[in-house]
Structure 1
Amino acid sequence: MRLETKFLIPGMQIAQPIMAPTGQIFLEQGMILTIRDIKRLAQWGIARVNVVLPANFDPSMLPCFLTDRETVELVAAAFEEEPIFGKIPLAEFRELAGTYRELMMDVLGVVDYLSQLRAHNHYTFRHAIDVASISGLIGRWLGYTGEKLKDLILAGLLHDIGKIGIPLEILNKPGKLTVKEMCVVKQHSCYGYDLLKRLKVTSDAVNCSILQHHERLDGSGYPFGLSKDKISVFARIIAIADIYDAMTSERVYRRKKSPVSVMKTIAGDMHDKLDTGICITFLANTRDYLTTNSGFAR
């Protein structure tokens, strides 16, 4: 059962691994909660935890009790609660809605970590939804269907899941990050990859793209400085979606840029850092909507 942290009681058993801010698993599945554990969970800002309750426990006594299915519905609804109609074609986005709902029902374990991400940092959660949407559209434009499209959307949704291991004072810092702080942020792709490998609920293609989505074809990316065909296709797609959404979003440390301006930035990187073919597909389809203004609503 999924309970709000404030309702946890010493002696309850952890039903799913919980990550510490360092990115390491602090509470393993099956561990018994102590008072110290509960205090630390609250300090980390983890809003809800999956626990195994005693047979005689009555969940109706907890007003904020959420079942797994309700959690799925909350996350699935996020795709529609604040849609990015100013950035992507409305009609095609709606066509993908059924895929998102189906996806949510298939990855119950992962949804819990998305809930943690939302509690940890709302921008990162919102960004995850947007990148999944844009990645899904690019996939459709490239002819992806079925499981391949679902895996791409899932990879986009989880590309920053490792940021639940990054301290909030760094994620929310209004000014420029120090070299040390930037090194901490750059660990999020490794944190996310390690987390999903341990959970064993996502495919190798999804896990690999989460690890590589900040790599660049010219070897200038991180965490390993991979280049060219050593970077997965999913990671190349998510890289473009990630850049587009991040630059067209308002942040505490900078103003958002217009879609046209960001498209020029992507076009400038399409011959060295980003995949040329995917960029052309993305820019051509997006430009059609921007120039005709027929597919967007605000």
Structure 2
Amino acid sequence: MALHLVYHPIYSQLELPPEHRYPINKYRMLYEYLEQALKLHSHPQLRLHCPQPVDIAEIKQLHHPDYIDGLFGNTLPAAQMRRIGFPWSAQLIARTLTSSGGTKLTVDLAYQYGLGIHLSGGYHHAHHDFGSGFCLVNDLALAARHALTLDGIDKVMIIDCDVHQGDGTATLLADDPRIITFSVHCDKNFPARKPDSDIDLALPRETTTREYLDAFRGILPLALAQHQPDMVIYDAGVDIHQHDELGYFNVCTQGIYQRDHLVLSHCHDAGIPVAAVVGGGYRSEHQQLVNLHAQLIYSAMDVLALR
């Protein structure tokens, strides 16, 4: 048995203005940490995969073609780019296409092997005809639609544990009964307007590790039993951490591990394949995020008994 990981160097190859809030270096730092701590390339039970950019025509089946043409052609109004939060560049577009392709590839790996982890992904604030909150293309919704094209996958559940509600995912997939959107988030945090997911677990600011895990543990098995998904796409955002600069929760590092282990073990025991993405996490010192994101890999290795 092996754990399959997806990564591309382009994830951190984006020049941003000084003091920009987005932790662009964390993807490279996470990869380098895993290479050093786990000997990624030589580890007998770890497999690394490099994605290809997703096809633009496929993105236009999810997002409004005019939005995608304007985004990729650099003709969006300045106000729409400000809402996204990135300055436009050709590298930004290349990165977006590749990361979206990475989440799709993670779905394929989960389908084939039972579990795949993408060392990027989770751009859940992208809506049908606009981007928002550092999200241009909604890779979670795109990957869920892709999963439904695979033989035997008739229902997908997106379990989004980023501290910010998956508003774009909720609106994009509101009319698709084959995809269940399940968001666990802070009630008073971005976005200000939170459209209904199929399942919303909104927790108050300063929620502790015990409160978070008790609430999540109380609803996760019921959600899986009720909807019986054929695949889960899991957004393992670490911005629930007590020191996150945009999070407002009081969850410790061990709590992140326990949350990830809870999702992966429940699905593993039920025979449900999981495609996981690392999701959000915000620190001025990007290196401080690495150990938090690594908890997803450690929990996966423990569920698969690889360490």
Higher helix fraction: Structure 1 or Structure 2? 1
Normalised by the shorter chain, which TM-score bucket? 0.3 to 0.5
| Greater Rg by CA | 1
Structure scoring higher RCO (CA < 8 A, sep ≥ 6) equals: 2
TM-score under structure 1 length normalisation:
0.34
Higher strand fraction: Structure 1 or Structure 2? 2
